[in-house]
Structure 1
Amino acid sequence: MLLYSQPLTRILRLTLDDVRYHDGQINLCLGDPPTPLPEPFAELLLRHLDQRLNLTTATNQNSRWLFPGRRGGQPRTPDAIERRLRDHQIPILSGRTAALRQLVLQAPAAVIARMLGYSDEQTSRVATEAGSPWSRYAPVDEHPHT
């Protein structure tokens, strides 16, 4: 959430299939291409994969959710996670906003949009507001006019 500015609801919809290994790098499928996960977050994710909760019931033992919920076949609910984040004083909305601003300062908004599953318009607006040096970067037109 704070690393790649993802909504909690989107994070909770991730599955084991969204975690990919390529050339020794752990990637998370948030957009296209998959997003590389830096250390120490990659190690934390691997540890989480080995210790996922709510897998002890008969209806949930084969769950593919990255964060399985208590109900069989369902991911964890945002309410429970939001409470835990607030208890640890982790800012949800302002933290996501700050993360996105930082990302568009580091790379073109169009690149960030595709990697993280955002719209070009949304990341371009944030880049402009942040005073990004990439704010005038023109994304590649995938559908050139002939």
Structure 2
Amino acid sequence: MNHQVMPRLKVPMIRTENPTPISQHHRIALIRKIMTSDDLPLMERIAAALILLYAQPVRRLVRLTVHYVQHDGDQVTLILGDPPTPVPEPFAELLLGYIRDGRPNRPGGTLPASDWLFPGHRAGQPMDPATLGRRLTAAGIPTLHGRTATLRQLVLQAPPSVVAGMLGYHTVHTEAVAAQAGGTWKKYAPGDHTR
């Protein structure tokens, strides 16, 4: 560059901090909207719920198969980490209905027997994360900011190591999010406090 042999190179700056989350009030309003509104397509409603309830990134959503959803009697769980995460109603009913008869089956493209929760246009392939992200953005779902708000709320309600295990995050990440959110779980002394 100094000798004008090549053009000036600009290296983009990569943001490493967590994006500003949406407010808890806005998050709850979005959850209410996706659970009750029939205006949104079912696929977008399911993906948005996975982001706003379980803080899952879009790139992880497209890798989920129907086998990650376990239905045992009245209990529905998602295998996002260890242990499996419970799925509350009315989302459990919505999710089971989507798996049963709501997933898109494209003739000449994805096979009807595809195991992907979000099947793509190519047979046997999941949907592209960018495609799902665009669909969610068009539906008014803030994917990155919504996921950040969800994770912050979850680590304020439960120990970050528990949240990390259940949702498939690394403990260091959830501890950092808890510290940024002002969580007090590090000061919590586990054990029997009745003595």
Instruction: Tell me which structure has the larger Cα radius of gyration.
Output: 2
Aligned pairs for 1:2-17 within 5 A: 2-17=52-67
Contact between 2:110 and 2:121, CA under 8 Å: does it hold in 1? no
Q: Matches of 2:91 and 2:98 in 1, distance apart?
A: 10
**CA deviation after TM superposition for structure 1 residue 88, in Å:** 2.0
How many pairs align? 139
**Per-residue deviation, 1:59:** 5.8
Amino acid at match of 1:52: R
Structure 1 residue 102, shift from structure 2 partner:
0.3
Decide whether the 8 Å contact of 1:113 with 1:123 is kept in 2: yes
Within a 5 Å distance, the mapping from 1:73-88 to structure 2 comes to 73-88=124-139
**Percent identity of equivalent pairs:** 55
- Residue 102 (structure 2) pairs with residue 51 (structure 1): yes
| Distance in 2 (alpha carbons) for counterparts of 1:59 and 1:42 | 25
Q: Secondary structure at the match of 1:135?
A: helix
Alignment of 1:98-113 (within 5 A): 98-113=149-164
- Which of the pair is proportionally richer in helix? 2
For residue 26 of structure 1, the aligned residue among 57, 71, 76 is 76
Relative to structure 1, the CA distance from residue 11 to residue 137 in structure 2 (aligned partners, 3 Å threshold; closer, same or farther) is farther
**Partner in structure 1 of residue 4 of structure 2:** none
Amino acid corresponding to residue 53 of structure 2 in structure 1: L
Could you say what the CA RMSD is over the residues aligned between the two structures, in angstroms? 1.8
Structure 2: distance between partners of 1:53 and 1:59: 8
Give unpaired runs (5+ residues) of structure 1: 140-146
Decide whether aligned partners of structure 1 residues 119 and 56 sit closer, same or farther in structure 2, where only a CA change above 3 A counts.
same
Which consecutive segments of 4 or more residues in structure 1 shift more than 4 A? Answer: none
Amino acid at match of 1:101: R
SS in 2 for 1:20: strand
Q: Does 1:135 align with 2:183?
A: no
> What's the secondary structure of 2:115's corresponding residue?
coil
Contact 1:105–1:127 under 8 Å retained in 2: yes
* Residue type of the alignment partner of 1:91: P
Task: Report the CA distance shift for 1:138/1:72 in structure 2 as closer, same or farther (over 3 A).
Answer: farther
